[in-house]
């Protein structure tokens, strides 16, 4: 019997995600079809991340937070965004990390300079993976630039309004997720500590207006985002094990 390694299995699941995404965009014309495709996409992303202690649930959590921020945006701001683009970009923001060596992604200690330079390539790798799929142009832009900083010191040195609004929204969600989820190399921060960190980063790293709106979202709504992500990861783990 031919057995796949964990790495090979992850790559197969990745291809399944790409095919599902292509199908959902190209063939589903009705709301229910797109909704089912979105649910399956979340499940597959969860399966990929479930066994990695430094990723488990992160993309699902970022996705939930991103869509929550979108909900709280004023209507004029929403005119400059596509909810669908934001949905796919926030869910697939870290897909490029599966092009990074496992020993780096699963490292429990601090990354060295060379290792960090490799990790910083993940947005570009993700865009390369997804680049030939139709209908993802704006979403890919959000993925590529979600690690930019307002002061221009991000991965691609875009500054301020040069950074797409969708990428700026995802950056806030990504930062909050990174500091509130447990990781093998660091402890999580509490809600008050995390909000304080966001406010400190506003204007230099993160978009000040988006941070302000995020910090005024009820704590219970943010906690619900975490709970939902963890439930989906648990479900994905069960599917991965075949239970």
Question: pLDDT tens, 20-46?
Answer: 655 555 555 555 555 666 666 776 676
Beta bridge partners of 186: 183
56 in a structural domain: yes
210 pLDDT tier (thresholds 50, 70, 90): very high
Q: Please count the other Cβ atoms lying within 10 Å of the Cβ belonging to residue 229.
A: 25
Beta bridge partners of 183: 186
What mean pLDDT do residues 56-67 have? 88
107 in a structural domain: yes
Cα gap 212→72, rounded to integer Å: 11
Tokens 């447990």, residue located: 182
148 in a structural domain: yes
102 in a structural domain: yes
Query: With contact defined as beta carbons under 8 Å apart, do 226 and 61 qualify?
Result: yes
1 in a structural domain: no
**Secondary structure class of 133 (helix, strand, coil):** coil
Query: With contact defined as beta carbons under 8 Å apart, do 182 and 212 qualify?
Result: no
> What's the number of domains the chain is made of?
1
Cα gap 133→23, rounded to integer Å: 10
Task: Return the CATH number at 112.
Answer: 1.10.3210.10
Query: With contact defined as beta carbons under 8 Å apart, do 70 and 213 qualify?
Result: no
Cα gap 29→207, rounded to integer Å: 35
User: Most confidently modeled of 13-27, 55-69, 216-230?
Assistant: 216-230
**Secondary structure class of 119 (helix, strand, coil):** helix
pLDDT at site 102: 72
Q: Which domain holds residue 160?
A: 6-241
State phi, psi for 202 to the nearest 5 degrees: -65, 130
180 in a structural domain: yes
CA 204 to chain centre: 21
Averaged pLDDT score across all residues of the chain: 81
pLDDT at 73 over 70: yes
pTM: 0.85
63 pLDDT tier (thresholds 50, 70, 90): very high
Cα gap 80→240, rounded to integer Å: 38
């Amino acid at each position: 019997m031919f057995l796949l390694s964990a790495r090979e299995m992850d790559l197969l699941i990745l291809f399944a995600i790409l095919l599902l995404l292509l199908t959902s965009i190209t063939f589903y014309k009705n709301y229910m079809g797109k909704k089912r495709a979105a649910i399956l996409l979340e499940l597959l992303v969860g399966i990929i991340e479930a066994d990695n202690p430094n990723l488990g649930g992160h993309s699902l959590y970022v996705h939930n937070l991103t869509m929550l921020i979108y909900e709280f945006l004023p209507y004029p701001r929403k005119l400059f965004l596509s909810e669908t683009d934001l949905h796919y970009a926030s869910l697939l923001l870290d897909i490029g990390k599966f092009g990074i060596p496992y020993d780096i992604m699963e490292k429990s200690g601090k990354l060295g300079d060379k290792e960090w330079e490799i990790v910083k390539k993940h947005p570009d790798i993700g865009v390369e993976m997804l680049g030939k799929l139709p209908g993802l142009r704006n979403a890919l832009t959000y993925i590529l630039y979600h690690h930019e900083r307002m002061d221009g010191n991000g991965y691609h040195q875009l500054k301020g309004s040069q950074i797409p609004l969708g990428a700026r929204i995802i950056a806030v969600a990504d930062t909050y997720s990174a500091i509130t989820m447990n990781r093998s190399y660091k402890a999580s921060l509490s809600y008050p500590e995390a909000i304080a960190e966001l406010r400190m980063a506003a204007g230099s790293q993160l978009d000040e207006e988006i941070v302000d709106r995020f910090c005024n979202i009820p704590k219970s709504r943010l906690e619900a985002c975490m709970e939902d992500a963890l439930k989906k990861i648990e479900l994905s783990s069960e599917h991965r094990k075949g239970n």
